[in-house]
Homo-oligomer: A and B are copies of this chain.
Amino acid sequence: MKTQEDKGKDKRVTPRAEDYSQWYLDVIESAELAEHAPVRGCMTIRPNGYAIWERIQRVLDEEFKNTGVQNAYFPLFIPESFFKKEAEHVKGFAPEIAVVTRAGGKELEEPLAVRPTSETIIGEAFSRWIQSHRDLPVLLNQWVNVVRWEMRTRLFLRTSEFLWQEGHTAHATEEDAEKRTLQMLEIYRKFAEEVMAVPVIAGIKSDSERFAGAIRTYTIEAMMQDGRALQSGTSHNLGQNFGKAFDVTFLDEKGERHFVWQTSWGVSTRLIGGLIMTHSDDKGLVLPPKMASRKVVIIPIFKEDGDEKARVTRSCKEIADALAFLGREAFVDNRDQHTPGAKFHEWEKKGIPVRIEVGPKDVEKGEAVLVRRDTGEKTPVPVLEIKARVEALLEDMQKNLFDRALEFQKAKSHRVDSYEKFKTILETAPGFLYAHWCGKAECEKIVKEETQATIRCIPFEEKEEPGACVKCGVTSKKRVLFAKAY
């Protein structure tokens, strides 16, 4: 007669050192974030996982709107023929498309693609909505599900269906489109670092890693605890490719007709995977306070049901009242059927930043014990100071998690000039390798075949310096970021 939580509790989280992939799955299972769905490659996002997505949505949505972006909704189904209009785009997406062929009991005349991304259907709409320079810019976004049929899936990181936002904008000039592309990347960078506490490297993709149909793709790349990179957000300058494919034109002030310049940009539920793999530990999920929808759990501890319970309960209530500014984010775990120890364990696995323990002795001293999730440190604190102390702790924890992740990223980053050393590092202790590259797709391809490492980006922060391609030795002016990636 075990509850779900009891069952989860019994299950040990595999230590990272033992099996990193299993550790990742164990953290997700023990925190009840998500699970594989009955349909191959699809995922059910459980409430604890979805709460993280809601937080991502709330913060980013506000940031988008502050730049004039409006939300809309374009249909899930796209006529297959639409994909054929942009040559690169169809090449990139055709192999992954799921197709509806039957509906309402009949075979459809034209099969319908389930959207893998919406450039095409939005291109068609733009061609009707945009006529004059006065209609520009158009700044849209949608929060939706998309489907890309994947052979090898991994919860959050790669699933056949996932949730994302896709922004789509149209502009009168190339300059405006480029500015918007970079503006949205900067919103992603800031969000990753300041809200998710995930340090990232921002830069531009090489041609072979570019979005199918874009002229330039920008990215932010985060480092996971196994040294691999996770592409965490991309922003594409689509040039006039979709404008030409869908005949999206406008008349300028002189009455001349031009194709629009477009951008698209997105982040997905994959961010949740990156969040888990950046901060969590062998005890389970660790969440930076700004990402936690439940920040503080107050746990009463008592042996007797009578007077002792009453005093402890009263103190818990008092603490909850002091933390009322956190709304639903702070709460007392009053469940009678679980021991305090089981509760500690449960909320630890679930990544709640702060646990407050309230026992009879604490009550006597007018205190409570604050336990922080990132370091496990315990601090007795006077109940009267609880609000200020919790606020300070949440702030400190947010900062500490970012600093810790940045330190880790730096420790695992190397400036490498020899291909031998390059290979050795990737084999023994993978990380971010800053190496010179000649710019040829051929070298990039060989490196990938031989080491599994890809060019994650050409970082904005890399300065020009004379060098030689780590693979072929040809002259290079800049280092790029190589890494094995998810």
Contacts and interface: CB of A to CB of B under 8 A. Distances in A.
Given A39-B77, A70-B47, A99 B101 contact: yes
Interface in A123-175: 124-125, 129-132, 134-135, 140, 144-145, 147, 149-151, 160-161, 163
Interface string A41-66: 01111110011011000000000010
Contact of A145 (B65, B79, B82, B145): B145
A38 interface: yes
Q: 3 nearest interchain CB pairs? A: A104-B149, A47-B70, A98-B103
A78 interface: yes
27 contacts: A2-B131, A2-B132, A4-B130, A37-B77, A38-B79, A38-B121, A44-B125, A46-B72, A47-B70, A47-B71, A50-B71, A53-B73, A73-B163, A77-B147, A98-B102, A98-B103, A98-B104, A98-B112, A99-B100, A99-B101, A99-B102, A100-B114, A102-B111, A103-B160, A104-B150, A114-B114, A144-B145
A124 B38 CA distance: 9
Contacts of A53: 73
Interface residues of A, number: 68
B151 A47 contact: no
Interface of A: 1-4, 7, 37-39, 42-47, 50-51, 53-54, 65, 70-79, 82, 94-105, 111-112, 114, 121, 124-125, 129-132, 134-135, 140, 144-145, 147, 149-151, 160-161, 163, 251, 255, 328, 337
A100 B135 CA distance: 37
A51 B39 contact: no
Contacts of A145: 76, 144-145
Given A37-B75, A99-B103, A100-B100, 4 more contacts: A39-B112, A43-B75, A50-B72, A145-B145
Nearest to A48: B70
A117 to B, nearest CB: 15
